[in-house]
Amino acid sequence: MQNTRNFSLTPVSVCLCALFAGAAQAQVLDEVEWRQEGSDAVAVIEFVTPVQYTKSITARASDLVQSFYTVLPTREVLSLTPGEKRLYGEGVIPTIIVRDESASASVANDVQRRLVIQFDKPTRFKVRTGRKYNKSIEIVLAGLGPQLATIAVKSTKIMPTTPEPMAAATPSASGVAASAEVESSATGLLVKAQAAFDAGQYDAATESLNQLLNLPPNQSSRRAQELAGLARLNAGDKARAASEFGLFLKLYPQGADSDRVRQLLASLPAPAAAAPTEAKPVEAAKGIASGSVSMFYYGGRSTDQTQSNAFANNGLPTPQESPTATLSDQKQLQTSYDLNWRLRDAEKDMRFVFRDTTTNDYVKNTNKERLSALYFDYKSMTLGGNVRVGRQSPNGGGVMYRFDGVQAGYYVKPKWKVNAVAGTPSDDLLDAKRSFYGLSVDAEALTKELSGSAFFIEQTIDGEIDRRGVGADLRYFKGGVTASGQLDYDQMMKKVNVVAFQSTWQVSDATSLNAMFDRRTSPILSLGNTLFYGTTNGAQVKRIQDLLVGAVSLENLRDRVTNTTPYQNLFQVGGTTTLTPKWQTGANFSLSSVDAVPAFFYDGQTIPGQAATGNQWGMGVQLIGTNLYSTRDTHVFNVSFGGSPTDHNVLLSYNNLTSLGDKWQVEPSLKYYTMSSSLSGDTDTWSTGVRGIYRVRNQISLETELTYENSKNTSVPKTVGGVTTISQTSRSGVSYYLGVRYEF
């Protein structure tokens, strides 16, 4: 939801504007890797910043899923740009393309985001919250873990096996009472699959069975799972047949059909077992290069017209119309490079990563280059240690922002790891010199369900202590429940920086709930925040030494930081549930606020404070349709309401995604937003857009988006000298982008 407010310059706004002037033009998507977890294969999608997974929408073809998530509050302001990663498979393991983008086609840089995940073959899978510092989402392929060993060296991004086996991806259907429509659809699919199987059309049977097994558990699930193995076996795919039969026994260990499947499984080769061959010399591991290069042009033009009506005491209006202004709002070329080199064998895993974005703004006549990653990473498989050197994103341990430096870790026990980090923030802070170091301990299994970490970090600025933080985070996983908590406390400021909690509960295959609470200082407490109060004795403040004049001490500066840094508070709760095989619904509620900042005296003048924002609330309801006219179409209808002490608003939106074969992806959208504010007046905005992606070849894609927006604002009446003035501003505009992406 959008809120438009006019604030005067305050200590908070000055700090935020100065600290975040160089906002990062960066992808939030970091890496995609395979990991074996018990008998399952898991595709781990990692991000550069903490996220919260909310829901997924799966296409009936079982080769496309949209997973929605929210970028959580962070110290670093990210100008979020689309990103794409490819994870190669082989044999029964599918190749996966993961595209990250804004959840709304009409809001490009939005913390509400989605992953569009495509498989190169129909696949049964489950999406869940990741287990890595709230910075990952995982795709579980049940029963395919042993098959990861067959993946070729190309794109070998396979993480070590996790010792604890996970719960089955699909709960047992025994005794489950599914809805009448689910049962009807499942029965129809089973009849269709059985007919195809009897006719020897095993691929067609498998496609129908995948659709059935992706439904909520029902009375047909058990027979479908056995038939899936038989279809694979009759098609000559013994490896996949063994996986299907193994999953059947995991779900249904008892029964006559279980005994029958057990006998069939015993006659098949063990998963990932290689046929006896002559011993051959072991080939040396080879380095593999992969990555992407993209170029996007963003353009837009808008037309503004303002009419002011002045009403004198006689009540007669005097219209005053300003000339129409047509502006080029945006002319920007953005080029991004994402290059990776990797070499992995039984003893080591080495990787080199380079990510860079260049932005040419032809309206402001500026050129900016943002190096977001340039590091070398080495992991020893035999010693249990790792080291990463270069420019990198934070990975826990109390580090709050991208930095240049080194981090290293060592497993002192199988599930206990000690880490160290040292470096300098990659973004400059005026002329100040900053550096930091830190230590942390990771415990992967405090109990079977509980893991966590604790850290200490100290940062200096111009030779003084900028920040000294201690903290911990805990992570809990059991069944369908995932929860995590975070605490960061500054010992020098004697104040909590961050306290946060988030959780996801997969109540059943049909229903999931999520909740989050986050309270953090904004900006984060640090001595460097005092550099943005302006001048000292008329001179520009650029280093901490500039402030330590006269009777001003470090204690005075720290008191100033703690007294003028507010907390921002955020609470969210939401959930989704399946109504029918084609429809699901979701709802969410949020409450946010920023605390007050008192006025204070500085450099001979009084710096005005800032009142608390009061509670800003939002509530939304979504209706989500899938496969209404094809095997790959999704529809999201949204109604949202919001308000604060100064305004209230309503948002209506519709987003569609349709895949036309393997080449085209089309996404039309429509949005209406209205707001009534005691500060800025009444605003009504209509926008419509369409986004399209065309894959010329497997590695080359063309992308484009066109958005039209029309808005009208009627100002709050202002009376001066007996004359009341009301202004009406109309704005219409078109924005677009054209781009090409090459993956290799």
pLDDT per residue as tens digits for the range 359-401:
999 988 999 998 989 999 999 988 889 999 999 988 888 898 8
pLDDT of residue 76: 65
Element (H, E) at 515: strand 511-521
Structure confidence at residue 174 as a pLDDT band (50, 70, 90)? very low
Q: When comparing pLDDT for 202 and 496, which is higher? A: 496
**pLDDT higher than threshold 60 for residue 300:** yes
Identical fold between 11-26+289-592+614-743 and 180-266: no
Element (H, E) at 261: helix 256-266
Binning pLDDT at 50, 70 and 90, where does residue 155 land? very low
pLDDT tier at 275, thresholds 50, 70, 90: very low
Q: Give the integer Cα–Cα distance in Å for 744 and 735.
A: 30
For the segment 98-106, the average pLDDT, to the nearest whole number, is 78
pLDDT value of position 378 = 95
**Cα 91 to Cα 255: distance, rounded to the nearest angstrom:** 31
Give the mean model confidence (pLDDT) for residues 532-556: 76
pLDDT tens figures, 417-459: 999 999 999 988 888 999 999 999 999 888 888 999 999 999 9
CA angle 150, 151, 155 (to 5 degrees): 165
Distance (Å, whole) CA 403 – CA 388? 12
Return mean pLDDT, the chain: 82
Q: Any idea where the domains of the chain sit in the sequence? A: 11-26+289-592+614-743, 180-266
Q: Which CATH architecture has domain 11-26+289-592+614-743?
A: Beta Barrel (2.40)
End-to-end CA distance of the chain: 38
pLDDT score for 326: 55
Which class would CATH give 180-266? Answer: mainly alpha
What confidence category does residue 93 fall into, taking pLDDT thresholds of 50, 70 and 90? confident
If pLDDT is split at 50, 70 and 90, which confidence band does 280 have? Answer: very low
21 or 305, which is more confident? 305
pLDDT interval class at 167 (50, 70, 90):
very low
**Pair 716, 678: CB distance under 8 Å:** yes
Q: Is the pLDDT of residue 159 over 50?
A: no
Between 606 and 168, the higher pLDDT residue: 606
Q: Is the pLDDT of residue 158 over 60?
A: no
Instruction: Answer whether residue 587 shows pLDDT above 80.
Output: yes
Q: Which residue has the tokens 């900006």?
A: 523
Assess whether pLDDT exceeds 60 at residue 8: no
Which range scores top for mean pLDDT: 194-198, 243-247, 345-349, 466-470? 466-470
- Does residue 169 register a pLDDT over 50? no
What's the rounded mean pLDDT across residues 562-574?
93
Distances (CA, A) of 85 to 32, 177, 243, 424, 741: 7, 39, 27, 29, 11
Q: Which residue has the higher pLDDT, 472 or 7?
A: 472
pLDDT for residue 75: 64
Which of these, 379, 382, 359, lies nearest to 371 by C-alpha position?
359
What are the helix (H) ranges across 54-174?
Answer: none
> Which carries the bigger pLDDT value, residue 523 or residue 313?
523
Q: What is the pLDDT of residue 311?
A: 66
Give the pTM: 0.76
User: What would the pLDDT profile of 303-359 be if each residue is shown by its tens digit?
Assistant: 888 877 766 655 555 555 555 555 657 899 999 999 999 888 878 889 999 999 999
3-class secondary structure per residue, 208-259? HHHHHHCCCCCCCHHHHHHHHHHHHHHCCCHHHHHHHHHHHHHHCCCCHHHH
Angle between helices 256-266 and 221-234 (to 10 degrees): 20
